[in-house]
């Protein structure tokens, strides 16, 4: 009996569910052909030695072995990339949040600044690299020229290995616009009553920021942390075009390492193994961040269900 | 249960995907002839902008004069190597392609010796001999020469006039260059006498070693005893000292940016600089490279050729096209972009009399008989990366490694 009913509901559900799948079919096909397909192929490739111009040969886990035991550049690149992420992610979040707060202020000309801040996000990475190449040029660049007015002799940004990583951080942070916009829309969505109530209770702007704004946007912070961690670990365009990994391999990021192994050294199998390792690292990191999120991310419905009684009372009052 | 259902949909989609992939590959096999039965050839170029317009015009001419062949131009731009590599990996490389890095791609290119034999000696002899070396790998010719450049010294005439220094003349030595650079350099107006890359491309840099009677590797490809030979160390010490002494600067890129600024008196570069520097309003002259005391003035070549893919199904038609692409008319058409590679064209266009272009040809003639390490060493791209790191550690102002130590550790 039970079987029949389940079958019935199942076939009913299937028919009923065909339509939505039909709508997302273009995306699904795109995902399978251009994302999942290559993903699986690269996993298979990582067990082969494939010099591209000739036939691939199966080598088992040799690529992974070489990577972990016989390639010092592998570890160097990981360390550089992690260092970059450790500086870039917090900095980027802070700048995006500050800018988002600034552009939510009801002042004249805010639309103009909003556009200006967002503009770098529209410019292609290649153009950004070229522009920063000019700005950072130590002999003729505008940055050191401006610093000279302050009596500072600017560092050799792209030549000195000590400064190069910071140079990339600065250039990357310029593309903060998208993250700023996400924060902005979220902050705009916080009900004004909360701030009014807080103001009546005597909370100053700082208290309001830390007790209302920050808790309200924690889901967005979580999202931005995850996307920028992933972005930082995959950074390639800037180092490829701005520094080429130099000076003295000080910006030889993992992304560039993979890219060069594949397209410069023609070791497609080895590069696939590299890429899979990074994929797993990112996966684990993302999972860790998600795990910790339950302790610091607050969702609205969570508050409604489990929130303090006082607040619930307030809400009831509002509803009435 | 939801999961089971999702899974079945998922597998259905995978099946659809595989079907699609299957279809597209069988469709790909059909597409090497056009609807009207012509042989379709794909031709990949790395050029961009005006060069591509010119190339398309030339291809149109070829297509008009050939009833049975249609060539389609694919312009890959700056991602050229990546796309060619990917194409070869997917067994979908273009039939015809521009080529420069023969050792790296040799397995995917069709050897042309047998085709050339049919054309006769006179055909082959019309190309400059040196160019054949650069368009081969493992003693097989893999491409027909299209263009080339040797390296020369560009000098900024205005800065020389200002300092009241004579323009450099052919037959000079590196000591002459240093003396000249010191004279033209001016701390107050921030003029540097000479600029060279602080991160030189190892491929290009080998010419300085040749010029001092040595090279990176011997015929067997050993770095040891060659890269760290006394004569090699001498070269690097000389460059390091120029930067240390302050009248010369190391550049972040090729040096073109610095030269364009009008604050650099001399730098070494190929024919790529001719147009950009003119457009930047620099009144420049060019002169042959200086020689070392015991050596001679010699340049490496950066050459471009045109090759046929080993997997092409229409190699004879492709050869017909690359012959067209390198004939006299084509050389003349390209004269604004490339230095002609045919002796007959150089003669008819009187390039030997051209004040600027003749310098590139005399460098070409005196640079015969050298083989770059990239043609000898098996895994050059890796070796090159290590060499670049070593060179940079010697020339980067924040490290300035001792050349002898750096080169000794590089050969290990």
Q: Domains in chain A, start-ordered, CATH in brackets?
A: 65-319 (1.10.3720.10)
pLDDT, tens digit (0-9, with 9 covering 90-100), for A209-232: 998 999 999 999 999 999 999 999
Other Cβ atoms less than 10 A from the Cβ of B356: the count is 15
Q: Residue B277 burial (CB < 10 Å; 0-12/13-18/19+)? A: buried
Residue of B nearest to A45 (CA): B89
The residue of A247, A256, A261 whose CB has the most chain B CBs within 10 angstroms, and thus the best one to mutate to test that interface, is A247
Could you report how far apart the first and last alpha carbons of chain B are, in Å? 62
The reply to whether residue B199 touches residue A247, judged by beta carbons under 8 angstroms, is: yes
Q: What is the DSSP letter of B72?
A: E
Determine the Cα–Cα distance for residues A262 and A254; give it in Å rounded to an integer.
12
Q: Which residue has the tokens 């005196």?
A: B366
Of B381, B310, B83, B382, nearest in space to A54 by CA? B310
Chain A nearest-CA distance from B346, in A, is 35
Phi, psi for B61 (deg, rounded to 5): -60, -45
Among A190, A223, A208, A214, smallest CA distance to A293 is for A223
Distance CA B247, CA B185 (A): 6
Residues of A in contact with B386 (CB under 8 A): none
Tokens of A229: 């961690």
Please choose, from the candidates B125, B87, B123, B395, the residue with its C-alpha nearest in 3D space to the C-alpha of residue B249: B395
pLDDT tens-digit readout, B150-204:
999 999 999 999 999 999 999 999 999 999 999 999 988 889 999 999 989 999 9
Is the Cβ–Cβ distance between B81 and B101 less than 8 Å? yes
> Which residue is closest to B310 within chain A, CA to CA?
A53
pLDDT band of residue A266 (cuts 50, 70, 90) is: confident
Q: 10 Å Cβ neighbour count for B381?
A: 18
Residue for token pair 């000794």: B408
CA distance B58 to B46: 16
Say whether A29 and B16 touch across the interface (CB within 8 A).
yes
Q: Which of A21, A33, A138 faces B20 most closely, judged by CB atoms? A: A33
Name the residue of chain B whose CA is nearest to A161's CA. B398
Place of tokens 């030695």: A49
Cβ within 8 Å, pair A161-B396: yes
- With CA atoms as reference, the chain A residue closest to B311 would be A53
Closest by Cα among A189, A185, A182 to A212: A189
Q: Does B85 touch chain A (CB under 8 A)?
A: yes
At CB < 8 Å, which residues of chain A contact B? 6, 10, 13-14, 17, 21, 28-29, 32-33, 37, 50-54, 133, 137-140, 156, 158-162, 244, 246-249, 260, 262-266, 268
Assigned token pair, A83? 């260092």
- State how beta strands B302-308 and B96-99 pair: antiparallel
Q: Contacts of residue B379 in chain A, CB cutoff 8 Å?
A: 265
Whether B396 sits inside 8 A of A248 (CB atoms) is yes
N-term to C-term CA, chain A: 49
Residue whose token pair is 């805010």: A110
ipTM over 0.95: no
User: How many Cβ atoms are within 10 Å of B243's Cβ, its own excluded?
Assistant: 20
Site from B22, B252, B394, B406 to mutate, A interface, most A CB atoms within 10 angstroms: B252
CA atoms within 13 A on the CB side of B172: 20
Alpha helices, DSSP H, located in chain A: 2-31, 37-45, 62-69, 72-104, 110-122, 125-136, 142-149, 161-173, 177-188, 192-200, 205-208, 214-234, 237-238, 254-263, 268-296, 300-306, 309-319
Nearest to A127 by CA among A174, A187, A177: A174
Is the CB of B358 inside 8 Å of chain A's CB atoms?
A: no
Answer CATH for B35-149+302-365 from 3.40.190.10, 3.30.70.2170, 3.30.950.10, 3.30.830.10 = 3.40.190.10
* Superfamily name and number for B152-300+378-411: Periplasmic binding protein-like II (3.40.190.10)
Residue B7 in contact with partner chain A when CB distance is under 8 A: no
Q: Say yes or no for a CB contact (<8 Å) between A138 and B252.
A: yes
Using DSSP's 3-state secondary structure scheme, residue B296 falls into: coil
Measure the CA angle with vertex A158, ends B408 and B270; round to 5°: 70
Strand order in the sheet with B284-287: B248-251, B194-197, B266-269, B152-156, B284-287
Residues of chain B found within 8 Å of residue A10, distances taken between Cβ atoms:
1, 5
Nearest chain B alpha carbon to A269: B89
Q: Where are the alpha helices (DSSP H) in B286-379?
A: 315-325, 328-333, 343-348, 357-365
Under DSSP, the state recorded for B192 is B
- Pairs of residues, one from chain A and one from chain B, whose beta carbons lie less than 8 Å apart: 90
Q: Which residues of B touch A268 (CB under 8 A)?
A: 89
**Which residue in the set B5, B13, B396 is minimally distant from A28, CB to CB?**
B13
Classify burial at A252, counting beta carbons within 10 Å of its beta carbon; exposed 0-12, middle 13-18, buried 19 or more: buried
Q: How far is CA B196 from the centre of its chain?
A: 18
pLDDT in tens, chain B (412 residues): 444 455 555 555 555 555 554 444 444 444 566 667 789 999 999 988 888 899 999 999 999 999 899 999 999 988 898 899 888 888 889 999 999 999 989 989 999 999 999 998 999 999 999 999 999 998 999 999 999 999 999 999 999 999 999 999 999 999 999 999 999 999 888 899 999 999 899 999 999 999 999 999 998 889 999 999 999 999 999 999 998 998 999 987 888 988 998 999 999 999 999 999 999 999 999 999 999 988 899 999 999 999 999 999 999 999 999 999 999 999 999 888 889 999 999 999 999 899 999 999 999 999 998 999 999 998 898 999 999 999 999 998 888 899 999 999 888 8
Closest partner CB to A156 (pick from B379, B382, B397): B397
Q: Which segments of chain B belong to CATH 3.40.190.10?
A: 35-149+302-365, 152-300+378-411
CA distance B136 to B160: 41
């Amino acid at each position: 009996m039970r079987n029949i009913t389940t079958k019935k509901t199942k076939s009913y559900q299937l028919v009923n569910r065909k339509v939505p799948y039909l709508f997302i079919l273009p995306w699904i096909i795109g995902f399978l052909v251009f994302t999942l397909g290559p993903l699986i192929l690269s996993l298979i490739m990582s067990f082969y030695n494939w010099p591209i111009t000739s036939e691939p040969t199966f080598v088992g886990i040799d690529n992974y072995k070489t990577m972990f035991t016989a390639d010092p550049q592998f570890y160097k690149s990981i360390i550089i990339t992690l260092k970059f992420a450790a500086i870039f992610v917090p900095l980027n979040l802070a700048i995006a949040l500050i800018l988002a707060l600034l552009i939510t202020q009801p002042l004249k000309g805010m639309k103009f600044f909003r556009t200006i801040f967002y503009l770098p996000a529209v410019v292609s990475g290649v153009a950004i690299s070229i522009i920063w190449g000019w700005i950072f040029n130590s002999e003729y660049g505008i940055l050191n020229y401006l610093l000279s007015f302050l009596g500072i002799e600017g560092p050799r940004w792209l030549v000195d290995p000590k400064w190069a990583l910071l140079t990339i951080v600065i250039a990357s942070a310029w593309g903060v616009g998208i993250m700023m916009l996400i924060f902005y829309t979220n902050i705009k969505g916080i009900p004004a009553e909360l701030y009014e109530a807080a103001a009546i209770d005597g909370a100053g702007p700082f208290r309001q920021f830390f007790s209302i704004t920050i808790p309200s946007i924690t889901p967005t912070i979580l999202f931005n942390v995850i996307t920028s961690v992933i972005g930082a670990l995959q950074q390639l365009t800037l180092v490829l075009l701005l520094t080429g990994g130099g000076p003295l391999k000080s910006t030889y990021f993992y992304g560039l390492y993979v890219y060069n192994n594949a397209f410069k050294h023609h070791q497609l199998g080895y590069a696939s193994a590299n890429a899979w390792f990074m994929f797993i690292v990112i996966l684990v990191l993302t999972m860790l961040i998600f795990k910790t999120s339950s302790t610091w991310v607050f969702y609205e419905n969570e508050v409604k269900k489990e929130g303090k009684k006082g607040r619930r009372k307030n809400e009831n009052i509002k509803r009435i | 249960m939801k999961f089971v259902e999702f899974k079945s949909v998922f597998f259905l989609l995978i099946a659809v995907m595989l079907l699609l992939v299957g279809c597209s590959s069988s469709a790909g096999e059909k597409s090497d002839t056009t609807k009207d039965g012509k042989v379709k050839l794909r031709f990949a170029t790395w050029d961009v902008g005006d060069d591509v317009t010119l190339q398309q015009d030339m291809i149109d001419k070829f297509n008009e004069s050939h009833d049975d062949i249609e060539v389609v131009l694919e312009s890959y731009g700056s991602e050229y190597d990546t796309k060619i590599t990917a194409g070869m990996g997917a067994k979908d490389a273009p039939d015809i392609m521009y080529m420069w890095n023969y050792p790296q791609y040799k397995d995917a290119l069709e050897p042309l010796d047998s085709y050339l034999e049919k054309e006769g000696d006179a055909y082959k002899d019309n190309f400059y001999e040196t160019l054949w070396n650069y368009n081969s790998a493992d003693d097989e010719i893999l491409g027909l020469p299209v263009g080339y450049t040797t390296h020369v010294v560009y000098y900024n005439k205005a800065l020389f006039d200002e300092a009241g220094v004579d323009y450099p003349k052919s037959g000079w030595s590196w000591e002459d260059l240093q003396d000249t650079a010191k004279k033209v350099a001016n701390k107050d107006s921030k003029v540097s006498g000479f600029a060279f890359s602080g991160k030189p491309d190892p491929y290009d840099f080998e010419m300085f070693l040749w010029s001092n009677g040595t090279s990176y590797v011997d015929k067997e490809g050993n770095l040891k005893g060659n890269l760290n030979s006394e004569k090699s160390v001498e070269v690097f010490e000389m460059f390091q000292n120029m930067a240390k002494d302050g009248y010369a600067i190391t550049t972040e890129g090729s040096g073109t940016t610095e030269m364009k600024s009008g604050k650099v008196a001399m730098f070494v570069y190929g024919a790529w600089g001719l147009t950009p520097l003119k457009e930047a309003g620099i009144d420049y002259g060019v002169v042959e490279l200086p020689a070392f005391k015991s050596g001679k003035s010699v340049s490496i070549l950066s050459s471009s050729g045109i090759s046929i893919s080993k997997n092409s199904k229409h190699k004879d038609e492709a050869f017909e096209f690359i012959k067209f692409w390198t004939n006299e008319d084509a050389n003349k058409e390209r004269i604004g972009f490339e230095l002609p590679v045919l002796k007959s064209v150089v003669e008819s266009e009187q390039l030997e009399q051209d004040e600027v272009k003749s310098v590139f040809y005399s460098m070409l003639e005196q640079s015969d008989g050298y083989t770059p390490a990239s043609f000898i060493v098996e895994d050059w791209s890796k070796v090159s990366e290590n060499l670049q790191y070593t060179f940079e550690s010697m020339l980067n102002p924040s490290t300035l490694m001792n050349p002898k130590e750096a080169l000794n550790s590089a050969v290990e």
